[in-house]
Structure 1
Amino acid sequence: MSRGAARKILVAACLAGLVAAYFLFDLGRFFSLDYLKQSREQFQNLYEAHTFLVLGAYFLIYVAVAALGLPAATVVTLAGGGLFGLWVGLAVVSVASTLGACLAFLLSRYVLRDSVRRRFGDKLARIDRGVEEEGPFYLFTLRLIPIFPFFVINALMGLTPMRLFTYAWVSQVGMLPGTAVYVNAGKELGRLDSLSGLLSPSLILSFAVLGLFPLAVKKALGWYRKRRNNG
């Protein structure tokens, strides 16, 4: 076994260990809506006494949750709105979620890409061409529609030839509307009874329509250019 392969196995084992520890020690109880509502006043007092320390700790926790794909991003986002308010919460969550997504993207590319391509290279070729041609628009659409799992998008995009810079800025912009919705909802933690109440059918439909917008613009521009060239 080569040294590079051994390092990849070690990184994969460490990631698997961290995710396993989250479930083994039931850390999810600290990322539940009930726990957040019960502890809100304590966290608020801590934030007022140690503002920058709390912001820094929250930022690192969010990055870790996003990078590892843990099922806690929604509650952590709500906590940002509940503790910091809309604008500070939006700024911190937006940057942390993008950084976490980029780390997950890089981890997927480093750990999984070579082995997946050896087994499914022919099937990925068509995806690669699509990403090269419409990657930013495609990713933008996925980011705007919150029905696609966050960690799945990160992992799959890491297998493609998309550049990290493109992935970062498209993710930053594409996730912003949904982030704003969740952070704003976090200001009303006392009124939330369940996470399912955040995504009403009308809200999901609105995100879906918004997600189709960049693809519609892409098609319209292609039609216009083709017509102009033929003319």
Structure 2
Amino acid sequence: MTEMNKTPKSGMARLVPIAVIAMAAVLGAVLLRDVISFEALRENREALLAFRNAHYAVTAAGFMALYVGIVAFSLPGATVATLTGGFLFGIFPGTVFNVGAATIGAVLIFLAARWGLGERLAARMDASEGMIKRIKAGIDANQWPMLFLIRLVPAVPFFVANLVPALVGVRLSRFATSTFLGIIPGGLVYTSVGAGLGEVFERGETPDLGIIFEPHILLPILGLCALALLPVVIRAITGRKGV
């Protein structure tokens, strides 16, 4: 009887991290829309620059902690945070700060999802028959290419790319590595936009966040996507299984 009573509690406890993240995401969408915004950055830019000049290390650490929280709790403002990293720290080390913080936040939400649902769901998919099992087998056979692909394609929402791998049993090391490397191109683009915000502010304009879809930027990223899919194509032709 004792063991039977413990099982449901244990199952419910596993859902706590996901429930907290979901609640934080909803509250953040309602309460932080005007707090973490381009307008807020514009209005406080002088104070931010002054504080950075006086306390560079504290500013860098605080910025990364805020960015990790935004990603880990799926809060609004990740794009603004990336722009801020470029504005405060330049393309380098701004890109390092942005990519590093985004990766840490992604790993945290990945672990929460895997602990709450991922392990059980992956096990059920492995034990299932028919279409579900074939889908899981296809994902397992091409994990590296698919992980890089969902990071490189700009149309894939970041939180989706964080949750799906956890739900299909991807290893943490693979997820962290593919996340860090896969978000570098996009992170570099938006960090460079942020690095030029000083001139944008002076002209009273807003940054062009659609720049990543410009041909001279999008085509190289699509080239990386094609490169990521190449192993999948080769395996389909040769019939070899991936790892």
User: Aligned partner of 1:75: which letter?
Assistant: V
Residues 87-144 of structure 1 show CA distances to partners (whole Å, capped at 9, x for unaligned) of: 1111111111111111111111122336756987555423321222110111111211
Is 1:171 paired with 2:179?
Answer: yes
Is the Cα–Cα contact under 8 Å of residues 21 and 73 in structure 2 kept in the other structure? Answer: yes
CA distance in 1, matches of 2:156, 2:143: 16
CA distance in 2, matches of 1:223, 1:72: 43
Is 1:69 paired with 2:74?
Answer: yes
Is the Cα–Cα contact under 8 Å of residues 144 and 174 in structure 1 kept in the other structure? Answer: yes
Check 1:225–1:158 CA distance in 2 against 1; reply closer, same or farther (3 A cut).
closer
CA distance in 1, matches of 2:233, 2:104: 30
User: Aligned partner of 2:17: which letter?
Assistant: V
Number of aligned residues? 225
Is 1:211 paired with 2:225?
Answer: yes
- For normalisation by structure 2, the TM-score amounts to 0.81
Equivalent residue, structure 1, for 2:195: 187
CA distance in 2, matches of 1:159, 1:125: 14
CA distance in 2, matches of 1:217, 1:118: 26
CA distance in 2, matches of 1:141, 1:197: 20
Q: Aligned ranges for residues 49-198 of structure 1 at < 5 Å? A: 49-113=54-118, 124-189=132-197, 190-191=199-200, 193-198=206-211
Equivalent residue, structure 1, for 2:29: 23
Is the Cα–Cα contact under 8 Å of residues 80 and 93 in structure 1 kept in the other structure? Answer: yes
Shift of 1:179: 0.8
CA distance in 2, matches of 1:13, 1:172: 26
User: Aligned partner of 1:44: which letter?
Assistant: L
CA distance in 2, matches of 1:222, 1:17: 42
Check 1:20–1:44 CA distance in 2 against 1; reply closer, same or farther (3 A cut).
same
Is the Cα–Cα contact under 8 Å of residues 127 and 160 in structure 1 kept in the other structure? Answer: no
User: Aligned partner of 2:92: which letter?
Assistant: W
- For normalisation by structure 1, the TM-score amounts to 0.85
- Greater CA drift, 7-16 or 63-72: 7-16
Q: 2:183 aligns to what SS in structure 1?
A: helix
CA distance in 2, matches of 1:213, 1:9: 37
- Show structure 2 runs of 5+ residues with no match: 1-6
User: Aligned partner of 2:143: which letter?
Assistant: G
2:49 is aligned, of 33, 36, 44, to 44
Check 1:117–1:137 CA distance in 2 against 1; reply closer, same or farther (3 A cut).
closer
CA distance in 1, matches of 2:28, 2:208: 20
Equivalent residue, structure 2, for 1:200: 213
Greater percentage in helix: 1
Percent identity between the two aligned chains: 28
Is the Cα–Cα contact under 8 Å of residues 82 and 188 in structure 1 kept in the other structure? Answer: yes
CA distance in 2, matches of 1:51, 1:112: 40
Check 1:223–1:213 CA distance in 2 against 1; reply closer, same or farther (3 A cut).
same
Check 1:225–1:160 CA distance in 2 against 1; reply closer, same or farther (3 A cut).
closer
Q: 1:75 aligns to what SS in structure 2?
A: helix
User: Aligned partner of 1:149: which letter?
Assistant: P
- Show structure 1 runs of 5+ residues with no match: 227-231
Is the Cα–Cα contact under 8 Å of residues 81 and 183 in structure 1 kept in the other structure? Answer: yes
Equivalent residue, structure 1, for 2:4: none
